[in-house]
Amino acid sequence: MGLMRSITGPSDLKGLSHGQVDALAAEIRHYLISSVSQTGGHLGPNLGVVELTIALHRVFNSPRDTILFDTGHISYVHKLLTGRHDFSTLRKQDGLSGYPSRAESDHDVIENSHASTSLSWALGIASGRKIRGETDRHTVAVIGDGALTGGMAWEALNNISEHRTLPLIIVINDNERSYAATHGGMADYLAKLRSSQEYESLLSWGKRQLHRTPFVGRQVYDTLHGMKKGLKDIVSPQGMFEDLGLKYLGPIDGHDVEAMETALQRAHDFGGVVLVHAITEKGHGYDPATADEADRFHAVGKINPETGLPLELSGRSWTDEFSEEMVRLGKEREDIVALTASMLIPVGLQPFAERFPDRIFDVGIAEQHAVTMAAGLSFSGLHPVVCVYATFLNRAFDQLLMDCALHHQGVTLVLDRAGVTGTDGPSHNGMWDLTMLSMVPGIHVAAPRDGQQVARAVREAVQIADAPSVVRYPKGSVGAPIEAVRTVGSVDVLREPPPAGSSLNGDSSGDQPVDLLIVGLGSMAATALQIADKLSAEGRSVRVVDPRWVLPVSDDLVGLARDARSVAVVEDGVVGGLAGPISRAIAAAGIGVSVHPYGIPAQFLDTGSRTQVLDRIGLTADAIATSLSAQLV
């Protein structure tokens, strides 16, 4: 690793010979495999951009020239080339972020790790610099073919075409995949471009043959070369980009550093907007990754670097519970269809897709389109289930509000990775959804407390035909089922105070008044039970309930509040997201009890494990019990 260790910044790359560059690429690839296999992370995507990233930093002068990585999960090589060599803390608390981070380096810009944003960022930066007179600084956006399926990317391209003199370079990292294989018209278009080398071969052959003919050969070749645009329209369809006024270079072998450098240098010197089309292979150079047809090791846990096999066996996940229930529902109801935004495997829809291939829609990275399309599917008489990460609902809120809720369409949204996800950083925590959903008129929201409740909630959600419904659950392994001791209407009572004079045994004690009613929402139900144990040890009488359907606030939950001196709401969303509606419903019923909200503070959460993050923000049983003990009278 001597050569890689000698690279403390991009300037160190400039003097390397091509032989040294090839050796460096091999070192980096070996280091990524050995280090990421110990920490987990986005391995396959970064193995695919080793040579491309080296070429970028040899041609451009970061940070004076700005290099933007769309989504950001392909930034590992960039980190190494900008002096960040210790990956032992990757994706850990106080360690190296799994995405670009401005706190780590001046070479990093976009931190949000949500796809399809880089072209808008790039146009804004380049335009701003033009206004400031800094026209000698280049802006480079590296965007994958998957991210190009997102609507924002096309909105930006449309606008970029009006500013074609800007020193702006768009590098398409085309590996035919986003998380898994890329689908849609854009994917088909790029597939045609990948096969366009026959045009260059034709032109090269014609030049050799015609130059053998004295006198007329050169003139005939010049005429042929002048027909370049027409020939390309026939043999290669990149005319779409050129019709937008964008200079197109490619396709280029993204694993050939010399070819990439040549193309990028041409783009650098062109004096306007240039699109460089690089063909790469996800997982390149690592056989276990390239042999994995599912996702080419897009994101891995700890693995054996020799075999690629996981070192830790994960338990049954919340996603597994949903996945199996969707297949069962699909067998029972032919009107059930499913949609996702390039996340077929991670949200658990792959089994449904295999069983019902005509009833699945992977729309690409286009959450807005997915939700509005679902409204249309609902109108046609089907019941669509839209599955995305909770953090990505942010991108489709208007469509949920105006296309689904306003039109009373029966659309179910399943939000995976709700609450604190931890290691994927601040933009992947699914902490905003409850606050947003609480503003949507007529919406139904379920937060299952365990795996059995996931299946139950999904089954109930698809019965709702006149309003949107949402089922949300966290990332990771699901615990043992939490049984209810009794049911009050739609509310499950999980714990009762023992009858007067009895031991603490959790037996039902009817609707006797209690000091505290704890409402544990979703995965926080287990925490609510722990809080109850701690307060009961202090002599408090505590009842714990799970409303199951958290919106709209049920009359049954409000009725239980009548029998409590205080209410505490524990949720894994931004604090007050559901505590607010619950508090208002209690007040509207004329019940004069105080409501104590506990949730995630309205701030961006630094990387760490889920346990570390929850401890840091005080969303633990110990911290909440201490807080409540001081407030209860």
Q: Is 150 helix (H, G, I), strand (E, B) or coil?
A: coil
Q: Which residue from 263, 267, 227 is spatially nearest to 247, judged by alpha carbons? A: 267
Q: 216-226 and 228-235 are packed helices; what angle lies between their axes, rounded to 10 degrees?
A: 60
Task: Give the separation between CA 143 and CA 165, rounded to whole angstroms.
Answer: 20
Q: Which of 281, 367, 496, 571 is catalytic?
A: 367
Catalytic residue flag (residue 282): yes
Catalytic residue flag (residue 261): no
Run of H or E residues at 572: strand 564-574
Task: Give the separation between CA 280 and CA 47, rounded to whole angstroms.
Answer: 10
Q: Convert 215-272 into a string of H (helix), E (strand) and C (coil).
A: CHHHHHHHHHHHCHHHHHHHHCCCHHHHHCCCEEEEEEECCCHHHHHHHHHHHHHHCC
Backbone angles phi, psi at 140, to 5 degrees: -125, 125
Radius of gyration of the chain from Cα atoms?
28
Catalytic residue flag (residue 134): no
Neighbours of 530 (CB within 10 A): 16
DSSP structure class, residue 255: T
Backbone angles phi, psi at 463, to 5 degrees: -85, -15
Name the burial class of residue 548, with classes exposed (0-12), middle (13-18) and buried (19+) by CB atoms within 10 angstroms of its CB: buried
Task: Give the separation between CA 433 and CA 573, rounded to whole angstroms.
Answer: 7
Q: Which of 359, 395, 475, 540 is catalytic?
A: 395
Q: Which of 29, 129, 177, 282 is catalytic?
A: 282
Task: Give the separation between CA 395 and CA 470, rounded to whole angstroms.
Answer: 15
Q: Which residues are catalytic?
A: 282, 367, 395
